[in-house]
């Protein structure tokens, strides 16, 4: 199978790594990709937001499957353009991607499908905002309605800060605070059948102990030893299948990856958000544990054949990933700093630990040097017989990496490994 992946993050590196290990994949391309993906796939330049350009590239390459990684191209309708060219594509249509593109739309779908989520108000004026904040009380949860790369949400006890964030958005969703641990559960769907993957946990805050601002995600692990073994079945039945059914009944079937961000509250499971694509960094740990070759699974979703897919096979291993971010992330990150230690990890820690690249590129003057090129730079991933071993291996590899001014959390999966 000839496969083209669109995107340039650590999630796309994880997808490309798995695809490169799949014997069914005969040619693998990634556009635009990054310095790490270049080691497993042939890179092509493309404007990932331009549907016509992406579908032209897919035709030129003879792609038999296109996988659209990030949300922005999906919301821009890139999957539709590829589908219109007659090429199977893994990723929802522009209309279906509104499940991620608009928090108000997602709330409406959940209400119609009877999916448990927090109570909320959609507000457009300061008066509505003040009323909603007063109705729920602290802690306040204020979400920009549109796409914001994980940075549009403010959770705070400070009423003024909550109102100020709302004032900076055109339309906001203000909702009830959900207490309890968070779980990310991904499902592959063709619009009818739904196949859940293994759950993972993401660390959204920038600093150890869940302090600091929200980020795109600073680390993740899977499995979740503390979670109820029935969790996946319950979420399939109460969240994933009803949502996929509701989207189909609306005439906008959702195919691709449905990401449920969940809070496990004392009153049961609640959806915090939906995303319309693989999560980053959770994908790095989920794919590290998937034994079934990936290409056939994604192709079956793209062609409406998921019902015939044999059950997925999973490794008993645990996986941990630690994100190394640039100086000042999630603010405006410093870029262009050289990265050292990549060859040492490959020589000393493989195959149990490996580095997935996010914001990296080759130095323009020195093709042997990889430099930082974004906020999240690397996602150092490791597997082990349990979380303790996986996290030891991940942090050992993190210790070999040099990147001036960089930051990473030291407590990824620590509580879960300790059985807390």
CB of 325 to ligand AMP, least distance (A): 17
Question: Sheet holding 376-384: strands in order across?
Answer: 201-202, 219-222, 318-325, 376-384, 353-357
- Can you give the binding site for ligand GLY, defined by CB under 6 A? 150, 202, 216-217, 275, 279-280, 282
How far apart are alpha carbons 320 and 15 in whole angstroms?
16
C-beta of 217 vs 359, nearer to ligand GLY: 217
CB of 121 to ligand GLY, least distance (A): 23
CB of 97 to ligand AMP, least distance (A): 15
C-beta of 149 vs 343, nearer to ligand AMP: 149
Work out the burial of residue 369: count CB atoms within 10 Å of its CB; fewer than 13 is exposed, 13-18 middle, 19 or more buried: middle
Q: Which does 279 bind (CB under 5 to 8 A by kind): ligand AMP, ligand GLY, none?
A: ligand GLY
Contacts of 194 (CB under 8 A, 6+ apart): 187, 188, 236, 240, 241, 244, 258, 306
- Can you give the binding site for ligand AMP, defined by CB under 6 A? 118, 141, 143, 150, 153, 155, 175, 177-178, 182, 204, 214, 261, 272-273
CB of 227 to ligand AMP, least distance (A): 16
How far apart are alpha carbons 12 and 41 in whole angstroms?
11
Cα separation of the two ends of the chain: 44
How far apart are alpha carbons 62 and 172 in whole angstroms?
43
Q: Which does 280 bind (CB under 5 to 8 A by kind): ligand AMP, ligand GLY, none?
A: ligand GLY
Q: By three-state DSSP, how is residue 157 classified?
A: coil
Residue 5's region, left for phi above 0, alpha for psi from -120 to 50, else beta, is beta
C-beta of 55 vs 102, nearer to ligand GLY: 102
CB of 11 to ligand GLY, least distance (A): 8
C-beta of 153 vs 288, nearer to ligand AMP: 153
C-beta of 66 vs 262, nearer to ligand AMP: 262
Q: Which does 333 bind (CB under 5 to 8 A by kind): ligand GLY, ligand AMP, none?
A: none
Structure tokens at 289: 């544990």
């Amino acid at each position: 199978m000839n496969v083209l992946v669109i995107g340039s993050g650590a999630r796309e590196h994880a997808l490309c790594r798995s695809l490169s290990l799949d014997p069914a994949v005969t040619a693998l391309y990634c556009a635009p990709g990054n310095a790490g993906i270049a080691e497993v796939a042939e890179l092509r330049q493309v404007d990932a937001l331009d549907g016509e350009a992406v579908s032209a590239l897919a035709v030129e390459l003879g792609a038999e499957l296109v996988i659209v990684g990030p949300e922005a191209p999906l919301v821009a309708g890139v999957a539709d353009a590829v589908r219109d060219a007659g090429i199977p594509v893994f990723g929802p249509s522009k209309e279906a991607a509104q499940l991620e593109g608009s928090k108000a739309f997602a709330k409406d779908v959940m209400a119609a499908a009877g999916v448990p989520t927090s109570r909320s108000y959609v507000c457009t004026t300061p008066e509505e905002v003040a009323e909603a904040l007063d109705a729920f009380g602290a802690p306040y949860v204020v979400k920009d309605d549109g796409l914001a790369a994980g940075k549009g949400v403010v959770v705070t006890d400070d009423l003024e800060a909550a109102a100020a964030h709302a004032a900076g958005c055109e339309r906001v969703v203000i909702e009830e605070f959900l207490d309890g641990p968070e779980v990310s559960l991904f499902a592959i769907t063709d619009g009818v059948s739904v196949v859940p993957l293994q759950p993972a946990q993401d660390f959204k805050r920038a600093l150890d102990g869940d302090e600091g601002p929200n980020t795109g995600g600073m680390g993740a692990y899977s499995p979740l030893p503390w979670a109820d073994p029935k969790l996946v079945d319950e979420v399939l039945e109460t969240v994933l299948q009803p949502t996929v059914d509701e989207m189909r009944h609306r005439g906008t079937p959702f195919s691709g990856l449905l990401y449920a961000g969940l809070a496990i509250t004392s009153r049961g499971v609640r959806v915090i958000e939906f995303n319309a694509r693989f999560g980053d960094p959770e994908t790095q740990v989920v794919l590290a544990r998937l034994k079934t070759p990936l290409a056939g699974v994604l192709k079956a979703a793209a062609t409406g054949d998921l019902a015939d897919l044999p059950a997925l096979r999973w490794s008993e291993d645990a996986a941990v990933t630690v994100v190394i971010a640039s100086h000042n992330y999630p603010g405006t990150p410093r870029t262009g700093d050289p990265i050292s230690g990549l060859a040492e990890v490959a020589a000393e820690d493989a195959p149990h630990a490996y580095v997935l690249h996010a914001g990296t590129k080759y130095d323009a003057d020195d093709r042997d040097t990889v430099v930082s090129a974004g906020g999240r730079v690397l996602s150092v991933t490791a597997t082990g017989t349990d979380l303790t071993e996986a996290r030891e291996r991940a942090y050992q590899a993190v210790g070999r990496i040099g990147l001036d001014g960089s930051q990473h959390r030291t407590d990824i999966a620590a509580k879960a490994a300790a059985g807390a």
